């Protein structure tokens, strides 16, 4: 149980890596988060989290090809692993389970 | 322009410095991308600030410590394993572990002791609060009058001053705050109640107590020595005379050239062993014998003098003052000296100097009690390092040659993912564990050996808490050093094995000992050096102690007459002779001004315009027969010929010096009598060694002229060899009957003579002891190597035996290489020891020749030791049944 626990920020990053597919690298993730959830995150925080996820085995990384921008520096492309997808799915499911346990009464009361 | 649109290099360099290599490129790329976006959207100022900020944000533990952190993690995990493997190895190879531990611990113990020695040497006189302002005045003189001194030895430095100098210094040198004379060459008879002993007396000025920091246990420092009839004594003396009584206010009788009463007014701490100033009984200097007479004699140098300068005084100004004092008080005298000795103007004939108090101990040029040669520290340190080095070589060569058994381990470890660094760490750790074990043993050994070491080196280093701490501290330092030194090479070699080759067994089962051979040779050469040195030292000391000195000092008691320098002395000798001469056990009684190794006096005189000098002894007619001195020609003094008081008996060296052909018709005008021809020569003695064998036999004469030459301050009593203790008891009784108020002190002349070579004897013991240890350690190493060698060749020997080799063949085969190694080692060691021992032997005027028999003897001895060491394994190997060793093939 403990091992598969993800923090909120880790979960966010992992999800974004899943969304971006082949284009998931540091800057792209920062931009994507800004674009989708309108949240300013720091590049270093993204990197640190990515490495942590890599240690846990939820993402893997490889160096992409060189480009003309970025002073010719290669990108480190992160891809989500099966374990990563599994942990995301497990978290989503467990949350849905919990969500179901909230009494529906309250909602209907509000609606009423 | 271009410069301004790219990220600044220094910021990126900062990133590169802390960022792990693997992550760097992508991080830099991301940062650059961000920078480019910022540049186009917000301008370059913002972009640059943002970049710096971002880089700083990356200084994050999870970035910085990535990778590095993981390695340390593995190491801490592995340490448990290393400890286990180390322990198993020690147990598995008990013999080698013991050899290493014994060798290292002896080396460590030696080093610790030597460290204590050197520290003790450095600590001399450091305990005085005013040590930086106290100086001893020295004199540097040109020995113009003594013709028997070679030119190079003419500059004579000593610390004995004129008695009047202290007052002059206080009055004429304004920077002198305190000054004291310090005269400790006198003995006196000290009495309180029925207790009578001879004691060393030290005469000082009242300033002594203000300058030096010896604790005053009771008494008033300010008022001490306010009168001339006070005495300050150490606790030991207080206890000896007064027991449990309080000595303060009691009166002691002290007799040194006349008895006087002194009031005990101070009890002072006994000077510690690292003090250059030593005393038991302190008396005001005005009581010193001949004080009044010598006070304004500027030609008489008798009394050391210390000054304390005011804090911050200028030493050049002090020097200038000393020069002025020399000119004022010695000017005319020095001019005369220069004229008399025909000393050229460019030679400095006399000047005062000074030595700072903490420097006195190691300033060997100027003689002082306990003065020491800083060379001793170097020699001892060198010996300790040699032994440590030999022990380290043991460790290295044993670790290397036994590495075969560790190869598989290295291979497996590497295959399982161990880095080379980890293996180096592992083997380094093992050697450190062994060094730590040795440290514990060595620490115990050092404490055990300290009393013997003190005896050898003539020191009194106590086992105090402070010293224990120093021992431990230095031990830990040495251990770390040894662990690194001995562990680094084997660990580099062992960790370098290629796993594939090791595991495929391409190295074979044999261990290559090629790289350990030079180490063994070096080790054996060091031992050989010590062996040769100690053999030569032993031969020289044997030569000295058994050489015919030209006189017979057996069963001769040396008894001070305790009368002081006056004609009472002659009366004591005469009375004692009258009383004892009919005793069957007393062979003869004689008197002399000074006995062997108990002082000497040298006279300088001018004959026919030539400066000459000779040693002189005042004697009586019984002296020559008592010592069995041989006459070359002429006769001894005769009691019945009154004119013999103005006659001399000379030695052959003096005859040669004077160039006499018929000495018995000559006169020796040693007292520069301008009227008569001087003393008549009545006899010529064969040369005998009246001084130590370190000195040549210089011209010497015996005289009975008491007034001019001296009084019979020492009585010699020759006793028969039968029941000596009883005879001594009889002599003591006779003395007490004659002089109940004077102590009966005696020594044996042969012991006095032997004492001249005490320091050489000590050095011989030290070198001998270290040689013993060096041989022991290197033999242990050799033993271990021979064992490995035998194991390596088990199969070969098996095959040879099957093919019909004799036991003796195998024995020779196994030992041959070790014999060669030891011979090579000796060949290397010979020139070094030859050189060093020649230097040592030059100290002796009479010495053995170093010839090839000595060297051959040492080589033979060394080779035999080596042979005995390795024989155990060769015999064992030769006796093994070949079936045992070959059946596994």
* Residue B365: inside a domain: no
Res. B73: pLDDT tops 80:
no
Per-residue confidence band for B889, with pLDDT thresholds at 50, 70 and 90: low
Residues B521 and B604 in one domain: no
Estimate the crossing angle of helix B517-546 against helix B807-841, to 10 degrees.
50
Average pLDDT value for residue range B49-70: 76
Taking the CA of residue A103 and the nearest CA in chain B, the distance in Å comes to: 42
Residue of A nearest to B66 (CA): A51
* Residue B366: inside a domain: no
User: Which residues of chain A make contact with B6, given a CB cutoff of 8 A?
Assistant: 71
* Residue B128: inside a domain: no
State residue B75's pLDDT score: 57
Residue B648 neighbours by CB under 8 Å, 6+ apart: B668, B670, B679, B680, B681, B682, B701, B702, B703
Instruction: Say how far apart CA B202 and CA B225 lie, in whole Å.
Output: 13
**Closest alpha carbon to B113 in B595, B455, B535, B508:** B455
Residues B537 and B565 in one domain: no
Per-residue confidence band for A2, with pLDDT thresholds at 50, 70 and 90: very low
Inter-chain contact A27–B33, Cβ cutoff 8 Å? yes
State residue B179's pLDDT score: 94
State residue B149's pLDDT score: 63
DSSP one-letter code for B160: -
Interior angle at CA B810, CA B808 and CA B811, nearest 5: 60
Instruction: Say how far apart CA B47 and CA B577 lie, in whole Å.
Output: 115
Instruction: Say how far apart CA B658 and CA B646 lie, in whole Å.
Output: 19
Residues in chain A, overall count: 112
Instruction: Say how far apart CA B710 and CA B126 lie, in whole Å.
Output: 41
State residue B507's pLDDT score: 58
Per-residue confidence band for A17, with pLDDT thresholds at 50, 70 and 90: very high
Residues B531 and B646 in one domain: no
Inter-chain contact A25–B30, Cβ cutoff 8 Å? yes
* The pair of three-digit structure tokens given for residue B709, joined into one six-digit string: 């030459």
State residue B71's pLDDT score: 45
- Provide the domain limits for residue B36: 2-66
What are the residues facing B716 on neighbouring strands? Answer: B558, B590
Instruction: Say how far apart CA B187 and CA B202 lie, in whole Å.
Output: 9
B575 SS3 class: helix
Interior angle at CA A99, CA A95 and CA A103, nearest 5: 160
Residues B238 and B340 in one domain: yes
Inter-chain contact B29–A71, Cβ cutoff 8 Å? yes
State residue B76's pLDDT score: 63
Question: CA-CA distances (angstroms) from residue B77 to B410, B417, B494, B554, B676?
Answer: 18, 14, 21, 75, 102
Question: Look-up: residue for tokens 């594939």?
Answer: B500
Instruction: Say how far apart CA B462 and CA B464 lie, in whole Å.
Output: 6
Inter-chain contact B6–A71, Cβ cutoff 8 Å? yes
As to burial, measured by CB atoms within 10 angstroms (0-12 exposed, 13-18 middle, 19+ buried), residue B809 is middle
If residue B779 lies in a helix (H) or strand (E), which one and from where to where?
Answer: helix B758-792
Residues B376 and B248 in one domain: no
**Closest alpha carbon to A73 in B20, B32, B50, B63:** B32
Res. B508: pLDDT tops 90:
no
State residue B150's pLDDT score: 65
B497 SS3 class: coil
Residue of B nearest to A65 (CA): B26
More confident residue, B505 or A20: A20
Residue B579 neighbours by CB under 8 Å, 6+ apart: B734, B738
Residue B542 neighbours by CB under 8 Å, 6+ apart: none
Estimate the crossing angle of helix A26-37 against helix A43-56, to 10 degrees.
110
Average pLDDT value for residue range B734-756: 86
* The pair of three-digit structure tokens given for residue B28, joined into one six-digit string: 């830099």
Window 27-46 of A, Cβ < 8 Å to B: 27, 30, 42-45
User: Which residues of chain A make contact with B14, given a CB cutoff of 8 A?
Assistant: none
Per-residue confidence band for B208, with pLDDT thresholds at 50, 70 and 90: very high
Average pLDDT value for residue range A85-104: 87
* Residue B290: inside a domain: yes
Contact B66/A at CB under 8 A: yes
Option in B25, B30, B58 nearest A27 (CB): B30
Instruction: Say how far apart CA B346 and CA A18 lie, in whole Å.
Output: 100
Option in B25, B30, B66 nearest A43 (CB): B30
* The pair of three-digit structure tokens given for residue B257, joined into one six-digit string: 């050239």
More confident residue, B405 or B283: B283
Res. B867: pLDDT tops 80:
yes
Option in B6, B54, B62 nearest A43 (CB): B54
As to burial, measured by CB atoms within 10 angstroms (0-12 exposed, 13-18 middle, 19+ buried), residue B356 is middle
Residues B747 and B767 in one domain: no
Instruction: Say how far apart CA B764 and CA B539 lie, in whole Å.
Output: 10
- Range with the lowest mean pLDDT among B480-494, B495-509, B601-615, B649-663? B495-509
Per-residue confidence band for B9, with pLDDT thresholds at 50, 70 and 90: confident
For residue B109, the tally of other CB atoms under 10 A from its CB is 29
Question: Rounded to a whole number, what is the largest CA-CA distance in chain A?
Answer: 61
Contact A47/B at CB under 8 A: yes
More confident residue, B47 or B341: B47
Instruction: Say how far apart CA B318 and CA B349 lie, in whole Å.
Output: 20
What are the residues facing B308 on neighbouring strands? Answer: B134, B178
Q: Are strands B679-685 and B747-748 parallel, antiparallel or unpaired?
A: unpaired
In chain B, % of residues over pLDDT 70? 95
More confident residue, B420 or B656: B656
Res. B42: pLDDT tops 90:
no
Taking the CA of residue B53 and the nearest CA in chain A, the distance in Å comes to: 10
**Considering its fold, how many domains does chain B have in total?**
5
Residue B223 neighbours by CB under 8 Å, 6+ apart: B265
Instruction: Say how far apart CA B562 and CA B773 lie, in whole Å.
Output: 48
Option in B7, B26, B57 nearest A26 (CB): B26
State residue B233's pLDDT score: 93
Residue of A nearest to B51 (CA): A43
Average pLDDT value for residue range B42-58: 87
Average pLDDT value for residue range B447-456: 85
pLDDT in tens, B150-165: 666 677 888 888 888 9
Residue of B nearest to A49 (CA): B62
DSSP one-letter code for B507: T
More confident residue, B77 or B624: B624
Q: Is the Cβ–Cβ distance between B753 and B549 less than 8 Å?
A: yes
pLDDT in tens, B163-196: 889 999 999 999 999 999 999 888 888 998 888 8
User: Which residues of chain B make contact with A52, given a CB cutoff of 8 A?
Assistant: 62
Residues B768 and B784 in one domain: yes
Residues B741 and B784 in one domain: no
Question: Look-up: residue for tokens 């910085």?
Answer: B64
Q: Which of A68-77, B135-144, B354-363, B859-868 has the highest mean pLDDT?
A: B354-363
What are the residues facing B181 on neighbouring strands? Answer: B305
| String of DSSP letters for B281-319 | EEEEGGGSTTHHHHTT-TT---B-EEEEEPTT--HHHHH
User: Which residues of chain A make contact with B36, given a CB cutoff of 8 A?
Assistant: 69-70
* Residue B129: inside a domain: no
If residue B196 lies in a helix (H) or strand (E), which one and from where to where?
Answer: strand B195-204
Average pLDDT of chain B to the nearest whole number: 84
Interior angle at CA A26, CA A22 and CA A31, nearest 5: 90
Res. A108: pLDDT tops 70:
no
Residues B337 and B402 in one domain: no
Per-residue confidence band for B695, with pLDDT thresholds at 50, 70 and 90: confident
* Residue B257: inside a domain: yes
Instruction: Say how far apart CA B327 and CA A20 lie, in whole Å.
Output: 103
Residues B636 and B739 in one domain: yes
* The pair of three-digit structure tokens given for residue B576, joined into one six-digit string: 């004692």
Inter-chain contact A74–B6, Cβ cutoff 8 Å? no
User: What interface predicted TM-score (ipTM) does this complex get?
Assistant: 0.84
Phi-psi region of B564 (alpha: psi -120 to 50; beta: other; left: phi over 0): left
Residues B140 and B232 in one domain: yes
3-state secondary structure labels for all residues of chain A:
CCCCCCCHHHHHHHHHHHHHHHHCCHHHHHHHHHHHHCCCCCHHHHHHHHHHHHHHCCEEEEECCCCCCHHHCCCEEEEECHHHHHHHHHHHHHHHHHHHHCCCHHHHHHHC
- Range with the lowest mean pLDDT among B40-49, B325-334, B598-607? B598-607
Average pLDDT value for residue range B698-714: 86
Residues B535 and B627 in one domain: no
Res. B492: pLDDT tops 60:
yes
Instruction: Say how far apart CA B180 and CA B136 lie, in whole Å.
Output: 10
Q: Is the Cβ–Cβ distance between B698 and B653 less than 8 Å?
A: yes
* Residue B224: inside a domain: yes
If residue B328 lies in a helix (H) or strand (E), which one and from where to where?
Answer: helix B315-340
Instruction: Provide the number of CB pairs (under 8 Å) joining chain A to chain B.
Output: 66
Burial of B456-472, coded b for 16+ CB within 10 Å and e otherwise, reads: bbebebeeeeebeeebe
pLDDT in tens, B537-559: 888 888 887 888 888 888 899 99
What's the CATH number for A8-111? 1.10.10.10
């Amino acid at each position: 149980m403990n091992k598969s626990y993800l923090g909120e920020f880790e979960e966010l990053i992992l999800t974004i890596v899943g969304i971006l597919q082949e284009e998931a690298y540091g800057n792209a993730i920062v931009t994507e988060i800004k674009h989708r959830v309108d949240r300013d995150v720091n590049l270093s925080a993204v990197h640190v989290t990515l490495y942590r996820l890599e240690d846990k085995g939820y993402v893997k990384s490889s160096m992409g090809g060189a480009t003309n921008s970025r002073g010719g520096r290669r990108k480190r492309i992160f891809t989500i692993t099966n374990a990563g997808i599994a942990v995301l799915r497990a978290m989503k499911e467990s949350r849905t389970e919990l969500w179901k346990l909230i009494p529906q009464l309250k909602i209907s009361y509000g609606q009423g | 322009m271009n410069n301004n649109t790219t990220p600044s290099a220094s910021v990126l360099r900062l990133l590169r410095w802390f960022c792990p290599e693997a992550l760097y490129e992508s991080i830099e790329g991301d940062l650059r991308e961000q920078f480019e976006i910022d540049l186009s959207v917000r301008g370059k100022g913002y972009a640059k600030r943002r970049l710096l900020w971002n880089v700083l944000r990356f200084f994050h533990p999870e970035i910085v410590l990535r990778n590095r952190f993981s390695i340390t993690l593995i190491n801490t995990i592995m340490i448990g394993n290393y400890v286990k493997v180390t322990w198993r190895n020690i147990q598995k190879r008990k013999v080698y572990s013991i050899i290493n531990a014994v060798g290292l611990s002896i080396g460590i113990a030696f080093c610790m002791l030597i460290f204590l020695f050197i520290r003790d040497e450095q600590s001399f006189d450091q305990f005085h609060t005013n040590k930086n302002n106290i100086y001893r005045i020295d004199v540097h003189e040109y020995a113009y009058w003594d013709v028997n001194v070679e030119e190079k030895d003419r500059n004579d430095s000593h610390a004995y001053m004129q008695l009047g100098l202290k007052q002059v210094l206080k009055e004429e040198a304004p920077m002198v705050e305190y000054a004291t004379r310090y005269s400790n060459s006198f003995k006196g008879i000290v009495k309180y109640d029925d207790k009578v002993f001879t004691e060393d007396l030290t005469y000082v000025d009242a300033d002594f107590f203000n300058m030096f920091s010896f604790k005053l246990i009771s008494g008033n420092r300010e008022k001490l020595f306010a009168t001339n009839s006070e005495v300050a004594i150490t606790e030991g003396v207080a206890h000896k005379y007064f027991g449990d009584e309080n000595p303060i206010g009691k009166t002691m009788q002290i007799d040194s050239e006349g008895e006087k009463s002194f009031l005990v007014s101070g009890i002072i701490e006994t000077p510690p062993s690292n003090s250059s100033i030593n005393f038991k009984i302190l008396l005001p200097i005005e009581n010193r014998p001949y004080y009044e007479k010598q006070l304004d004699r500027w030609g008489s140098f008798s009394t050391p003098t210390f000054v304390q300068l005011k804090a911050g005084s200028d030493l050049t100004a002090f020097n200038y003052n000393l020069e002025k004092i020399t000119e004022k008080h010695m000017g005319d005298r020095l001019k005369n000296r220069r004229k008399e000795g025909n000393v050229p103007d460019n030679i400095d004939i006399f000047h005062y100097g000074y030595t700072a108090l903490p420097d006195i101990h190691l300033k060997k040029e100027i003689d002082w009690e306990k003065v020491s040669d800083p060379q001793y520290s170097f020699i001892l340190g060198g010996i300790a390092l040699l032994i440590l080095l030999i022990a380290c070589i043991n460790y290295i060569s044993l670790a290397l040659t036994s590495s075969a058994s560790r190869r598989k381990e290295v291979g497996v470890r590497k295959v399982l993912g161990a880095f080379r660094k980890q293996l180096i760490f592992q083997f380094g750790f093992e050697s450190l564990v062994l060094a730590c074990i040795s440290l514990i043993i060595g620490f115990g050994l050092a404490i055990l050996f300290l009393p013997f070491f003190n005896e050898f080196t003539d020191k009194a280093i106590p086992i105090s808490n402070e010293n224990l701490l120093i021992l431990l501290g230095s031990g830990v330092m040495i251990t770390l050093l040894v662990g690194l030194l001995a562990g680094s090479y084997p660990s580099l070699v062992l960790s370098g094995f290629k796993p594939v080759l090791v595991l495929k067994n391409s190295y074979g089962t044999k261990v290559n000992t090629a790289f350990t051979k030079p180490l063994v040779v070096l080790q054996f050469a060091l031992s050989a050096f010590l062996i040769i040195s100690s053999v030569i030292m032993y031969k020289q000391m044997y030569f000295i102690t058994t050489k015919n000195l030209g006189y017979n000092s057996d069963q001769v008691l040396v008894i001070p007459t305790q009368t002081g320098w006056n004609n009472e002395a002659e009366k004591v000798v005469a009375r004692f002779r009258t009383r004892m001469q009919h005793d069957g056990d007393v062979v003869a009684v004689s008197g002399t001004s000074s006995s062997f190794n108990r002082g000497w006096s040298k006279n300088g005189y001018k004959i026919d315009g030539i400066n000459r000098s000779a040693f002189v002894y005042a004697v009586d007619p019984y002296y020559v027969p008592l010592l069995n001195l041989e006459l070359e020609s002429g006769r001894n003094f005769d009691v019945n010929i009154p004119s013999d008081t103005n006659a001399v008996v000379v030695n052959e060296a003096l005859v040669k010096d004077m160039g006499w052909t018929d000495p018995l018709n000559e006169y020796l005008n040693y007292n520069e009598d301008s009227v008569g021809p001087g003393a008549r020569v009545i006899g010529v003695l064969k040369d005998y060694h009246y001084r130590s064998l370190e000195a040549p036999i210089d011209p010497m004469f015996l005289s009975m002229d008491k007034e001019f030459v001296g009084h019979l301050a020492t009585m010699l009593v020759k006793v028969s060899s039968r029941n000596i203790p009883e005879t001594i008891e009889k002599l003591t009784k006779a003395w007490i009957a004659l002089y109940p108020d004077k102590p009966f002190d005696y020594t044996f002349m042969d012991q006095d003579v032997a004492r001249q070579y005490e320091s050489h004897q000590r050095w011989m013991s030290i070198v001998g002891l270290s040689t013993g240890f060096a041989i022991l350690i290197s033999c242990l190493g050799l033993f271990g190597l021979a064992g490995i060698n035998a194991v390596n060749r088990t199969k070969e020997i098996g095959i040879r035996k099957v093919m019909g080799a004799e036991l003796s063949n195998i024995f020779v085969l196994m030992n041959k290489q070790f014999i060669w190694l030891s011979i090579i080692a000796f060949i290397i060691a010979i020139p070094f020891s030859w050189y060093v021992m020649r230097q040592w032997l030059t100290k002796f005027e009479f010495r053995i020749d170093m010839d090839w028999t000595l060297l051959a003897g040492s080589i033979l001895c060394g080779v035999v030791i080596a042979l005995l060491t390795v024989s155990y394994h060769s015999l064992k190997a030769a006796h093994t049944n070949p079936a045992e060793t070959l059946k596994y093939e």
